[in-house]
């Protein structure tokens, strides 16, 4: 309980930072009047309500969604290095996005979300299957390398498309460089709904996933059908990561870090882990976004890059702690 | 022996095909005339357009293939290749940093510094007292370090203005565009010297492959040998990266492919086969990248990515079936 | 018309040998490549232009960022590697052998303002990396590298296929003035007189527009863009900003204070778009970004928006402004004159058609 209160406090603090950091200085009175008497022609009000608030909300949703996705993936595969970002969803989304734009000739923000979602979702399923995740014997090396391979394959295709069509580069930049700053144009509400559905599903089947993570035989003994649980878990991962990528652009390593930080706080229960990991994911992404606004001010570094700068070393740290026997 | 001969023959055939074909096909007679007389379109192809490009591709492929084979032998794991271990990412990061901060060092030097730095970091982080370093730990730590290097490179690229960033991006893909004889001479020169060094380590490498404890028994001090051989292999990879960019998957594919084709067993023979296979892969991938779509020339890195990724996936499924992973 | 000796139509390129056999005796090359063995051989085409050889020899030297380029005679078989140099070439009546794709995927990478001049010709379109063999296979006697962004290594390799015409050493790789591009290319193709007439014609059209709209003189303008999730504006040196300067406008002082990136544009924070609030705000979106502009929240606080002084340059108009060439500038003027008039008539109620079509109206 104390931990939950602490997390809530930290989140509140992060949100306050996110709303107050940026090139335009805002006073407390601006916050008050923006909430009570919104004036669409006042730059201070617009900054607060139409730029910083949607950005904060998108960051919270995407971060929480990736926290859930990472927890489900790591538990389901019994692989401490599983992360949807490492496993090729960003490349998958980028590829689907360019393909969609080339085929349907649309590149507005709604279309970007529309195309990125299935791309991210399909890639995460593909790499999971290719890495042997469904057979329950995906070692960290194997799954990570399968992700690296899929990433490289998709990125080669993306590079080719960008070279052939200059417009593709612009579309890609729209999605990549914009990151959370573009959240205001994206269908955040719809994607939030998808993410919540995924998270709810994960919470619902959490006990079954726990049973499965003890081993397929054990799970069957407890009356669980492994294939169904896996399918359910995969659906939860797909919904959450797809939504996160569609609203926040490419973000890797968040799904890796959040569950590891959550476990010592939340204890053994998967449900508690899911909640804690979601909160931590939201917190990390929000803080990364704030840091990205400060580090090169008045320029910005997108949140995804800030998270990756943090996540690479964390990956190494976890890899070092793995016992040799647990790796295969 | 027959395998080695057929690999050599394939390499020659691929090089000739790469000289003859492309966006425009040249008749063998035209090429021959150019070679003999030093004049005409054949000479233009040989001397300027395709000659240096193919020579650079051969050299870069060979050093990358050799580097991969050495690492795979040293760590007794077919997945221990410099591209997966993050060394190519380190070389790439160093070159981007050079552009971003205006460091006036030649690209090969920067690439070597970056590759060696990452190798040092990976070695230090993965090192374990007593038990030696398990290959899988090295691979994972290498992957993570490579992720970090890539993240840093992406971060640095946001500091660059648009045109410089586009140039850097193109470089990071791996490209053989507009290579001249100076590039070819550079990779061949460094490559030859490093290859001699590498082959001088063939015996320690063979002993190392048997395992650390055995090596000590045979009078080879395992840790220094490991560092020494790794250093040479990293420099080999850097020599390739310096002229062709971090072309993905060549180092990973070359060793197993060469060994399979030739049936080579000893480390020295496998190293030779890996170098030849690397050269073959890059020459063919470049031919594919510039000849397959009319009017469109792709960077060679795109082609090796398209070829290499399925190979890695296939390799993973095989390793799993064998129970190695 | 120029004299017959310099008219490309009198030298049929069809008479020249094809493929990898270069037709010209062009020993011209960059000075840096001088030591290399020359492989280009003399062929029939040389005879056609022999009279002009001596006359032009002195004139056809060009300084470039990587050395001097020299032509023995005006070029006839031209490969255009610059992303926009197809325009001055076509304007001069030189149909290029190959053209570089910039964006848009137009047939033969030629846009509406130049289509007519292309006629039935079908130049090879170059995409991706510059394919040296493709260029060599076309046996050009000139490669136009102005505004192509080729590297020094590419320049040196190309110079051994044919002389490569680059921008002057003191000019940037991209964004050289259209007059300079036109003149330089015209000199290399022996069509200098024609270039002067073309340039004078375009400048006269801008002068006429200035006379028609005396009120534009001194009014402030910003040429803004919205791309890749980023808002920005073009700075004084850019061709798009120059277009409006040519109509008498002044670039907004607040914008001029900001630092230019790559010498031609600047980026703005979404939280402060006040540097865009000029008398005339033109949105130039070479890609279909109307929706991204329309939904930009801070735009709604700009006076230019509230008083209906925004103009939206649609895909083709934006491309014409971005090309900023001797052909595309008059085209852009035709498409924008009525729009600017509607925006600046002093009545916020007047609807600017392009802004309405893009959904930008207040």
Q: Does residue C7 have a pLDDT over 60? A: no
Q: Which residue of A has its CA nearest to B290?
A: A160
Provide the pLDDT for residue B320. Answer: 61
Assign A202 a pLDDT band (cuts: 50, 70, 90). very high
CA–CA dist A190, B107 (Å, integer): 48
A143 and A82 Cβ atoms separated by less than 8 Å: yes
Interface residues of C toward A, Cβ cutoff 8 Å, are 101-105, 127-129, 227-230, 267, 269-272, 274, 287-288, 291-292, 295, 297-298, 300-301, 306
Contact present, B119 and B233 (Cβ < 8 Å): no
* Cα–Cα distance, A225 to A216 (Å, whole number): 9
CB A148 within 8 A of CB B84: yes
Find the range with the poorest average confidence among A187-191, C63-67, C182-186.
A187-191
Least confident residue range of A75-89, C37-51, C316-330? C37-51
- Helix (H), strand (E) at residue A156: helix A140-164
Q: What is the pLDDT of residue B39?
A: 80
A164 inside 8 A of chain C by CB: yes
Residues of A in contact with C128 (CB under 8 A): 163-164
Q: Which residue of A has its CA nearest to C291?
A: A108
What's the pLDDT at A62? 92
Of the residues A148, A162, A302, the best mutation for testing chain B's interface (the one with the most B CB atoms within 10 Å of its CB) is A148
Distance CA B97, CA B94 (A): 5
Segment 76-105 of chain A within 8 Å of chain B by CB: 81, 86
Contacts of B24 in chain C (CB under 8 A): 19-20, 133-134, 136-137
Nearest by CB: B144 against A155, A159, A315: A315
d(CA C127, nearest CA chain B) in Å: 5
Contact present, A10 and A283 (Cβ < 8 Å): yes
Q: What pLDDT is recorded for position B10?
A: 94
Smallest CA–CA distance, residue C306 to chain B, in Å, is: 33
> Which stretch of B179-193, B271-285, C106-120, C248-262 has the lowest confidence by average pLDDT?
C248-262
Which of A210-219, C78-87, C294-303, C331-340 has the least mean pLDDT?
Answer: A210-219
Three-class secondary structure of residue B24 per DSSP: coil
Q: Which of helix, strand or coil describes residue B220?
A: coil
- Of the candidates B137, B298, B308, the beta carbon closest to that of A163 is on B298
**Top mean-pLDDT range of A132-141, A183-192, C351-360:** C351-360
Using alpha carbons, list the distances in angstroms from residue C26 to B24, B104, C17.
22, 37, 15
| pLDDT confidence of residue C28 | 36
Q: Tell me which chain B residue has its CA closest to the CA of residue A85.
A: B147
Largest CA distance in chain C: 70
Which of C104, C272, C291 is opposite residue A109, by nearest beta carbon? C291
User: Shortest CB distance from B297 goes to which of C19, C129, C161?
Assistant: C129
Weakest-pLDDT range from A14-18, A211-215, B80-84, C350-354: A211-215
Minimal Cα–Cα distance from A136 to chain B, Å?
Answer: 12
- Report CB contact under 8 Å: C101, A181: no
Contacts of C137 in chain B (CB under 8 A): 23-24
Query: How distant, in Å, are the alpha carbons of A173, C212, C251, C294, C329 from that of C240?
Result: 22, 21, 11, 21, 9
Find chain B residues with C-beta within 8 A of C153's C-beta: 177-180
SS3 B248: coil
Closest partner residue to A156 among B125, B147, B302, by Cβ?
Answer: B302
The alpha-carbon gap from C257 to the nearest alpha carbon of chain B, in Å, equals: 19
Q: Model confidence over C37-55: pLDDT tens digits? A: 233 333 333 333 444 444 5
Determine whether the interchain pair B309/A131 forms a contact, defined as Cβ–Cβ distance below 8 Å.
no
For residue C276, which of C286, C287, C265 has the smallest C-alpha distance? C265
Name the minimum distance, in Å, from the CA of C285 to any CA of chain A.
11
Cβ contact A166–C102 (<8 Å): yes
DSSP state of C37: P
Distance of CA A118 to the CA centre of its chain: 15
| Structure tokens, C177 | 């003035």
Question: What is the number of H-type helices and E-type strands within chain B?
Answer: 15, 1
Q: Which chains touch C (3 or more CB pairs under 8 A)?
A: A, B
Question: Is B139 an 8 Å CB contact of chain A?
Answer: yes
List CB contacts (< 8 A) between A23 and chain C. 269, 271-272
Q: pLDDT tens, A256-279? A: 999 999 988 888 899 999 999 999
- Chain A neighbours (≥3 Cβ pairs under 8 A) are B, C
Measured between CA atoms, how close is C88 to chain B, in angstroms?
23
Q: Nearest chain B Cα to A312, which residue? A: B148
pLDDT for res B130 = 54
Q: Is B239 on the interface with C (CB under 8 A)?
A: no
Q: Are A20 and A26 in contact (CB under 8 A)?
A: yes
Contact B68, B252 (CB under 8 A): yes
Residues of chain B falling short of pLDDT 70:
1, 128-133, 162-163, 211-220, 319-325
The per-residue pLDDT of chain C, averaged, comes to: 81
CA distance B322 to chain A (A): 12
- Structure tokens, C123: 């130049």
Of C20, C151, C262, the CB nearest to B24: C20
What is the tens place of the pLDDT at every residue in B198-231? 999 888 888 877 766 666 666 667 778 888 898 9
Contact C333, C206 (CB under 8 A): yes
Question: Tell me, what's the pLDDT at A170?
Answer: 62
DSSP C30: B
For residue C229, give the nearest of A42, A51, A174 by CB distance.
A174
Among the listed residues C247, C267, C283, the one whose alpha carbon sits nearest the alpha carbon of residue C361: C283
CB B251 within 8 A of CB B64: yes
Chain C closest CA to B107's CA: distance in Å?
Answer: 14
A144 vs B131, B143, B301: nearest CB: B143
Q: pLDDT tier at A65 (50, 70, 90 boundaries)?
A: very high
Mean per-residue pLDDT over chain A, rounded: 81
Q: Which residue of A has its CA nearest to C294?
A: A185
CB-CB under 8 Å, B44 with C161? yes
pLDDT value at position A306? 87
pLDDT of A216 reads 66
User: Is the Cβ of C162 closer than 8 Å to some Cβ of chain B?
Assistant: no
In sequence order, the 6+-apart residues with CB closer than 8 A to the CB of A316 are B125, B141, B144, B145, B148
**Quick one: closest CA in B to C260, which residue?**
B161
Is the ipTM of this structure higher than 0.95? Answer: no
Q: What are the chain A neighbours of C284 within 8 Å (beta carbons)?
A: none
Across the interface, which of C134, C156, C157 has its CB nearest the CB of B24?
C134
Residue C126 CB neighbours (<10 A): 24
Residues 10-69 of A with CB under 8 A from C: 22-24, 40-43, 46-47, 50-52
Q: What is the pLDDT of residue A137?
A: 56
- Is the CB of C228 less than 8 angstroms away from the CB of A173? yes
Cis ω on the peptide bond leading into residue C219 (within 30° of 0)?
A: no
User: What CATH code would you report for B2-321?
Assistant: 1.10.3470.10
**C68 sits in which H/E element:** strand C67-70
Mean pLDDT to the nearest integer, C63-85: 93
A289 touches chain C (CB under 8 A): no
> In a mutagenesis test of the A interface, which of B76, B126, B136 is the best target, namely the one with the most A β-carbons within 10 Å?
B136
Rounded to the nearest angstrom, the minimum Cα separation between B23 and chain A is: 16
Instruction: Give the model's confidence band at C228: pLDDT under 50 very low, under 70 low, under 90 confident, else very high.
Output: low
């Amino acid at each position: 309980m104390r931990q939950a209160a602490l997390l809530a406090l930290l989140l509140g603090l992060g949100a306050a930072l996110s709303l107050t950091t940026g090139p335009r200085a805002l006073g407390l009175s601006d916050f008050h009047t923006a909430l009570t008497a919104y004036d669409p022609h006042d730059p201070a009000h617009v900054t607060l309500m139409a730029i910083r608030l949607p950005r904060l909300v998108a960051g919270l949703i995407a971060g929480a969604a990736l926290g859930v996705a990472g927890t489900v993936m790591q538990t389901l595969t019994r692989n401490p290095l599983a992360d949807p970002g490492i496993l090729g969803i960003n490349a998958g989304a980028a590829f689907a996005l360019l393909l969609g734009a080339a085929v349907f000739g649309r590149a507005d923000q709604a279309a970007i979300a529309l195309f990125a979602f299935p791309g991210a979702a399909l890639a995460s399923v593909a790499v999971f299957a290719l890495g042997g995740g469904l057979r329950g014997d995906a070692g960290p090396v194997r799954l990570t390398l399968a992700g690296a391979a899929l990433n490289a394959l998709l990125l080669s295709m993306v590079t080719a498309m960008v070279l052939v069509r200059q417009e593709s580069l612009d579309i890609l930049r729209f999605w990549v460089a914009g990151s959370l700053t573009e959240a205001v144009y994206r269908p955040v509400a719809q994607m939030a709904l998808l993410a919540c559905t995924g998270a709810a599903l994960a919470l619902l089947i959490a006990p079954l996933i726990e049973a499965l993570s003890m081993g397929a035989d054990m799970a069957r003994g407890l009356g669980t059908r492994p294939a169904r649980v896996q399918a359910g878990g995969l659906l939860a991962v797909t919904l959450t990561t797809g939504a996160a990528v569609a609203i926040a652009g490419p973000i890797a390593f968040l799904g890796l870090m959040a569950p590891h930080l959550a476990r010592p706080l939340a204890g053994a229960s998967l449900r508690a882990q899911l909640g804690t990991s979601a909160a931590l994911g939201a917190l990390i992404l929000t803080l990364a976004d704030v840091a990205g606004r400060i580090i090169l001010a008045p320029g910005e570094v997108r949140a995804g890059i800030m998270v990756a700068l943090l996540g690479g070393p964390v990956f190494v740290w976890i890899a070092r702690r793995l016992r040799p026997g647990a790796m295969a | 022996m027959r395998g080695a001969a057929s690999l050599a023959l394939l390499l020659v055939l691929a090089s000739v095909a790469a000289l003859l074909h492309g966006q425009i096909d040249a008749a063998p007679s035209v090429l021959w005339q150019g070679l003999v007389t030093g004049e005409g379109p054949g000479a233009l192809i040989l001397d300027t357009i395709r000659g240096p490009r193919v020579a650079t591709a051969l050299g870069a492929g060979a050093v990358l293939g050799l580097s991969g084979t050495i690492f795979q032998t040293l760590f007794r794991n077919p997945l221990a290749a410099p591209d997966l271990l993050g060394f190519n990412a380190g070389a790439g990061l160093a070159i981007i940093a050079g552009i971003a901060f205006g460091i006036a060092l030649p690209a090969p030097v920067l690439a070597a510094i970056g590759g060696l730095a990452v190798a040092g970091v990976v070695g230090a982080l993965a090192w374990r007292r007593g038990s030696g370093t398990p290959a899988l730990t090295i691979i994972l730590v290498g992957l993570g370090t490579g992720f970090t290097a890539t993240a840093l490179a992406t971060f640095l690229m946001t500091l660059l203005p648009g045109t410089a960033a586009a140039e850097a991006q193109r470089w990071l893909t791996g490209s053989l565009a507009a290579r001249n004889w100076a590039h070819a001479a550079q990779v061949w020169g460094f490559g030859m010297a490093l290859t001699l060094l590498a082959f001088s380590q063939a015996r320690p490498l063979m002993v190392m492959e048997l395992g650390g404890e055995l090596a000590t028994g045979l009078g080879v001090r395992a840790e220094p040998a490991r560092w020494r051989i790794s250093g040479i292999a990293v420099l080999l990879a850097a020599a390739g990266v310096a002229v062709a960019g971090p072309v993905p998957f060549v180092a990973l594919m070359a060793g197993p492919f060469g060994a399979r084709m030739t049936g080579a067993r000893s480390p020295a023979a496998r190293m030779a086969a890996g170098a030849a296979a690397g050269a073959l892969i890059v020459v063919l991938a470049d031919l594919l990248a510039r000849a397959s779509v009319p009017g469109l020339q792709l960077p060679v890195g795109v082609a090796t990515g398209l070829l290499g990724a399925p190979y890695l996936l296939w390799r993973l499924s095989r390793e799993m079936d064998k129970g190695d992973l | 018309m120029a004299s017959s000796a310099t008219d490309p139509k009198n030298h049929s390129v069809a008479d020249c040998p094809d493929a990898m056999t270069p037709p010209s005796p062009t020993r011209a090359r960059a000075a840096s490549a001088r030591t290399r063995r020359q492989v280009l051989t003399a062929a029939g085409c040389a005879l056609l232009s022999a009279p002009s050889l001596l006359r032009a020899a002195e004139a056809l030297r060009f300084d470039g960022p990587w050395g001097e380029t020299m032509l023995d005679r005006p070029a006839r078989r031209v490969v255009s590697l610059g992303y926009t140099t197809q325009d001055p070439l076509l304007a001069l009546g030189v149909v290029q052998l190959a053209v570089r794709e910039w964006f848009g995927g137009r047939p033969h990478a030629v846009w509406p303002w130049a289509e007519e001049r292309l006629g039935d010709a079908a130049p090879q379109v170059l995409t991706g990396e510059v394919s040296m063999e493709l260029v060599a296979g076309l046996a050009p006697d000139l490669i136009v590298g102005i505004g192509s962004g080729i590297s020094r290594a590419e320049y040196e390799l190309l110079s051994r296929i044919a002389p490569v015409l680059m921008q002057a050493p003191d000019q940037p790789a991209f964004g050289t003035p259209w007059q300079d591009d036109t003149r330089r290319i015209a000199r290399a193709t022996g069509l200098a007189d024609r270039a002067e007439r073309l340039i004078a014609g375009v400048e006269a059209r801008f002068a006429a527009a200035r006379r028609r709209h005396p009120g534009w003189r001194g009014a402030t303008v910003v040429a803004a863009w919205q791309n890749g999730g980023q808002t920005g504006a073009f700075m004084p040196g850019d061709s798009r900003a120059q277009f409006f300067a040519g109509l008498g406008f002044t670039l907004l002082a607040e914008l001029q204070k900001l630092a230019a990136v790559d010498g031609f544009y600047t980026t703005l924070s979404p939280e402060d778009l006040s540097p865009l609030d000029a008398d005339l705000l033109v949105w130039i979106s070479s890609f279909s970004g109307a929706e991204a502009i329309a939904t930009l929240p801070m735009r709604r606080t700009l006076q230019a928006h509230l008083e209906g002084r925004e103009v939206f340059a649609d895909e083709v108009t934006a491309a014409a402004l971005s090309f900023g060439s001797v052909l595309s500038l008059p085209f852009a003027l035709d498409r924008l004159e009525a729009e600017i008039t509607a925006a600046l008539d002093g009545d916020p109620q007047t609807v600017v058609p392009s802004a309405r079509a893009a959904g930008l109206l207040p």
